Chains A and B, each alone.
Chain A
Amino acid sequence: MGAKNVKVVVLKDGQIVSRGIALSGIDQKASAQQVFNEALQKAGASLSDIKYITATGTGRDLAPNANSNISMMGADALGGTHLFPTARTVIDVGAEEGRAVRCDEKGKMIDFVINERCAAGAGTFIEAMARALEVKVEEMGPLSLKAEKAVPMNAQCTIFAESEVVSLIHAKTPRADISRAIHDAIADRIASMTRRLGVQRDVVLVGGVAKNVGFIDALKRILGVDILVPPDPEFVGALGAALVPIRGIGGT
């Protein structure tokens, strides 16, 4: 039950059999019900076939039919270690929040840190900057990889960063260089947050922003470690929640 999107993962014998995603919208509960029904349909199942439902995310209390819930950090740890058993640090950058989790070999969360109350460490930051650059958000990552120069961006706040981007545009800085500066800025923030936990390998990146190649590149450079990114990283939290009854960790 994410801030921007609701995601559903249906498991059978520990394997994903169906997934669904929809915008959370104004009525997150209705969106969740709809995407849940669609996921069931895709799986060829009905509600009575589902043994257990765990919800996670900002709106987890609104999830229909949930038997239990788990924190987003706990779900990230379970989902991340399921996909990469060697994962000990899971970084999740979503639309509204960035967080990092340290976990043990069983997938149990040991410690966590959240980028609090600031859009500068979340996907929203890239969306806002894409608007300022007049570039589609999905083009921001590939564009940043074409940068020829590292341009420093000093502002740590989305609002001030936007004016800095405007200044760079006026200074005729190439868009690719600005795009890289934007990704470096957000990666810098996420890296500094993660270092507070102690970066322990392997490091896995999940959440919607993990689909952005520019951000992955920036985070690798700044953290100085290789980063594992699963396919469909935005579903890892939902996968972790679905694993609760199987792994026997979390969920109340």
Chain B
Amino acid sequence: MAETKYKTKPLDCWNDAKQLRAKYYEDFVKAHEKGGIRWAGGAWAFSAVPEGLGDDVYSLTGEPYGATVAYNRAFAEECHEAIEAKGYARDLCAYMRNYWGSIVLDKYVWGGEWPKPDFLWTTHICCSHAKWYQVASELEGGVPFFCVDVSVGPYDRMNERRINYMVSQMTDGIKWMEKVTGRKYDDEKLIRAVYNECRATSLWAEICALNKAVPAPLDEKTMYSLYVLNTLMKHKKECADFYEKLRDEVKDRVKNKIAAVGNEKFRVMTDTQPPWAFLELWRYLEKYGVVSIGSLYTFGLMGIFEVKKDGTWGPRTTPQEMGIEIETREQALRVLAEWTLSRPEWQHFYSPDFKSDMMKRIVKEWKVDGVMLHYNRGCEGLSLGIAENKLALKKAGIPVMHFEGNMGDEREFDLERTKVEVDAFLEILGAK
């Protein structure tokens, strides 16, 4: 057991995060009572776009919903059994099965009936996403469905033609939304949402960059509950405002050396979504003075970074900080497409080398002693190439281990077994 070296305290804004999240899920259920609109889609969707339909438009993003189900083991099992009984295979995306299972059971994870959306708006970021909502539409009796194809290549090869491809699809999407909802689209609301999204995702990157400090002001288990807001409502003002408040608090923690883990002695990073029903593993590490400072997943799924003048990673400068004034729909969509395509946790869909390079950067800048990779059977997209990442990290002389599991299906995770492997890794690091 490592000795406590640093002072620590819970986050002051913790309850704000909890309330924002609870309100989000409640708003979706109550949307129709207020005469509002519900849409559902992936957390990677261009969520700023439906904002042009009005201030009473509420979303339900599928991945965080699937993770919430995963945390509730009994309900997750019910969902898996329900969808598998319909003939869908056990090795499909675990979030997707949790989501489909909820539809089939007609149960919302927060209680009550499944809140059927009015339309589905998503992006085809991996081999599951478009099919996810195509099947959801069918299971829900034909809910209108629009999917934006984002397969335009990695950000370092971006050009006007590729951006045009994205913008033209979103432009078509807006016309489609007007048709299926019967509402007139308001470009001003879109512009506002795009500004919000750039601010919220840049702020999250800034918060993650603050975790380079020793002791780390945040631990990854806590970060999971914070980054999630961007997966729900990155386009909302209240989300960006929350991150501003959190950023200020984290800055204060760094200044006053307030640690997330008082006995911090070793720093690790993980990879991909965790097995959500078994986050106690992250607390287990802390017993031995090991803090997980985050991961490419926690940082780069919803944080937009750029390389700063000194060569290190920091928050990307927002259009508003650059003095860019967005005036038209076309311009707003261009900014949104270009901004989104620079997302770190997107590049490795094109090559594991992108991810290995980013991971090595995190190891160096965040002063990481070892890497714990989750070979996540529940997500093909983010686990694809992970063994290549392991080889690259090893080649760079970085201690690395992997454990097998599933982010959303507890049947494929063995906590005790994983602890055996973690114990051995901690011995290698010298923590145990």
Q: Interface on A for B, CB 8 Å cutoff? A: 58, 70-74, 109-112, 114, 116-117, 250, 252
Most buried by A among B1, B399, B417, B424: B424
With the chains together, A58 CA to B1 CA distance in Å?
A: 21
Check if B423 is an interface residue, CB within 8 A of chain A. yes
Q: Are A71 and B424 in contact (CB under 8 A)?
A: yes
Check if B12 is an interface residue, CB within 8 A of chain A. no
Other than A70-B427, A71-B427, A116-B404, give 9 A-B pairs with Cβ distance below 8 A: A71-B420, A71-B423, A72-B424, A73-B424, A111-B399, A112-B424, A250-B427, A250-B432, A252-B288
Residues facing A in B344-400 (CB within 8 A) are: 394, 399
Q: Are A111 and B427 in contact (CB under 8 A)?
A: no
With the chains together, A71 CA to B420 CA distance in Å?
A: 7
Q: Are B432 and A110 in contact (CB under 8 A)?
A: no
Q: Are A111 and B428 in contact (CB under 8 A)?
A: yes
Q: How far is the CB of A69 from chain B (nearest CB, A)?
A: 8
With the chains together, A111 CA to B393 CA distance in Å?
A: 13
Q: How far is the CB of A90 from chain B (nearest CB, A)?
A: 13
Check if B421 is an interface residue, CB within 8 A of chain A. yes
Q: Which of A58, A110, A114, A252 contacts B421 (CB 8 A)?
A: A114
What residues on A are CB-neighbors of B427 within 8 Å?
Answer: 70-71, 73-74, 109, 250
Q: Are B288 and A110 in contact (CB under 8 A)?
A: no
A-B CB contact pairs (8 Å), 8 listed: A58-B420, A71-B427, A72-B420, A73-B424, A74-B424, A111-B394, A114-B421, A116-B417
Per-residue 0/1 for B175-194: is the Cβ within 8 Å of any A Cβ (1 yes, 0 no)?
A: 00000000000000000000
What residues on A are CB-neighbors of B417 within 8 Å?
Answer: 116-117
With the chains together, A252 CA to B394 CA distance in Å?
A: 26
Most buried by A among B394, B414, B417, B428: B428
Most buried by B among A71, A74, A250, A252: A71
What residues on B are CB-neighbors of A58 within 8 Å?
Answer: 420
Q: How far is the CB of B367 from chain A (nearest CB, A)?
A: 21
What residues on A are CB-neighbors of B288 within 8 Å?
Answer: 252
Q: How far is the CB of A200 from chain B (nearest CB, A)?
A: 14
Interface size on B, residues (CB 8 A): 15
Q: How far is the CB of B98 from chain A (nearest CB, A)?
A: 23
With the chains together, A215 CA to B243 CA distance in Å?
A: 59
With the chains together, A212 CA to B1 CA distance in Å?
A: 40
Q: Are B428 and A110 in contact (CB under 8 A)?
A: yes
What residues on A are CB-neighbors of B394 within 8 Å?
Answer: 111
Q: Are B420 and A109 in contact (CB under 8 A)?
A: no
With the chains together, A74 CA to B430 CA distance in Å?
A: 11
- Asked, given contacts A252-B288, A252-B432, whether A109 binds B424 with beta carbons under 8 Å apart, the answer is yes
Q: Interface on B for A, CB 8 Å cutoff? A: 1, 288, 394, 399, 401, 404, 414, 417, 420-421, 423-424, 427-428, 432
Q: Are B404 and A109 in contact (CB under 8 A)?
A: no
Q: Are B432 and A109 in contact (CB under 8 A)?
A: no
Q: Are A117 and B428 in contact (CB under 8 A)?
A: no
What residues on B are CB-neighbors of A72 within 8 Å?
Answer: 420, 424
What residues on A are CB-neighbors of B424 within 8 Å?
Answer: 71-74, 109, 112
What residues on A are CB-neighbors of B420 within 8 Å?
Answer: 58, 71-72
Q: How far is the CB of A92 from chain B (nearest CB, A)?
A: 12
Q: How far is the CB of A195 from chain B (nearest CB, A)?
A: 12
CB nearest to B414 among chain A residues? A117
What residues on B are CB-neighbors of A74 within 8 Å?
Answer: 424, 427
Q: How far is the CB of B399 from chain A (nearest CB, A)?
A: 8
CB nearest to A111 among chain B residues? B428
With the chains together, A74 CA to B173 CA distance in Å?
A: 57
CB nearest to B1 among chain A residues? A252
What residues on A are CB-neighbors of B428 within 8 Å?
Answer: 109-112
CB nearest to B430 among chain A residues? A108
Q: Are A117 and B432 in contact (CB under 8 A)?
A: no
Q: Are A117 and B423 in contact (CB under 8 A)?
A: no
CB nearest to B432 among chain A residues? A252
With the chains together, A116 CA to B402 CA distance in Å?
A: 11
Q: Which of B1, B399, B404 contacts A117 (CB 8 A)?
A: B404
CB nearest to A249 among chain B residues? B427
Q: How far is the CB of B119 from chain A (nearest CB, A)?
A: 42
Q: How far is the CB of B411 from chain A (nearest CB, A)?
A: 12
With the chains together, A250 CA to B432 CA distance in Å?
A: 6
With the chains together, A112 CA to B426 CA distance in Å?
A: 12
Nearest 3 CB-CB pairings of A with B: A71-B424, A73-B424, A71-B423
CB nearest to A69 among chain B residues? B423
With the chains together, A69 CA to B428 CA distance in Å?
A: 14
What residues on A are CB-neighbors of B401 within 8 Å?
Answer: 112
What residues on B are CB-neighbors of A252 within 8 Å?
Answer: 1, 288, 432
With the chains together, A109 CA to B424 CA distance in Å?
A: 8
What residues on A are CB-neighbors of B421 within 8 Å?
Answer: 112, 114
What residues on A are CB-neighbors of B399 within 8 Å?
Answer: 111
CB nearest to A112 among chain B residues? B424
What residues on B are CB-neighbors of A117 within 8 Å?
Answer: 404, 414, 417
Q: How far is the CB of B75 from chain A (nearest CB, A)?
A: 25
With the chains together, A18 CA to B395 CA distance in Å?
A: 43
With the chains together, A244 CA to B414 CA distance in Å?
A: 28
With the chains together, A140 CA to B427 CA distance in Å?
A: 37
CB nearest to B431 among chain A residues? A252
With the chains together, A36 CA to B428 CA distance in Å?
A: 29
CB nearest to B390 among chain A residues? A196
Q: How far is the CB of A104 from chain B (nearest CB, A)?
A: 11
Q: How far is the CB of B350 from chain A (nearest CB, A)?
A: 25
With the chains together, A117 CA to B427 CA distance in Å?
A: 22
Q: How far is the CB of B266 from chain A (nearest CB, A)?
A: 13
Q: How far is the CB of A139 from chain B (nearest CB, A)?
A: 32
What residues on A are CB-neighbors of B404 within 8 Å?
Answer: 116-117
With the chains together, A58 CA to B423 CA distance in Å?
A: 12
With the chains together, A30 CA to B143 CA distance in Å?
A: 61
